[in-house]
Amino acid sequence: MPSLPPIIAWTLGAIGAIVVMKLISREWQRVNNELDQAKPVRVTDPERARLPTLRRDPVTGEYRPQR
């Protein structure tokens, strides 16, 4: 059985790689779209916005309002 000439083998390999990359890209996009739809909608609550941000005190380990 004769083997393929190198140029044809390289061409078939390149075409196969492109097809695989497109399939992976399409699947990646589909999964990301599903994850984006599953994200909870963030509602900005004005009352919550007025609360101070807490930071962890490295000495005591307690959370205190940010200065």
Q: Looking at the domain assignment, is residue 1 inside a domain?
A: yes
13 is a domain residue: yes
Please state, in angstroms and rounded to a whole number, the distance separating the CA atoms of residues 65 and 42.
23
Task: Tell me, yes or no, whether 31 lies in a domain.
Answer: yes
The angle subtended at Cα 61 by Cα 59 and Cα 65, nearest 5°, is: 95
- Reported for 34-39, long-range contacts at CB under 8 A and 24+ positions apart, including other chains, are none
Instruction: Determine, yes or no, domain membership for 19.
Output: yes
Residue 26 included in any domain? yes
Domain that holds residue 24: 1-35
pTM for the model = 0.52
- pLDDT over threshold 90, residue 21: yes
The reply to whether 60 falls in a domain is: no
User: Phi and psi dihedrals of 22, rounded to 5?
Assistant: -65, -40
Q: What are the tens digits of pLDDT across the range 3-19?
A: 889 999 999 999 999 99
- Tell me, yes or no, whether 40 lies in a domain: no
Quote the number of domains for the chain.
1
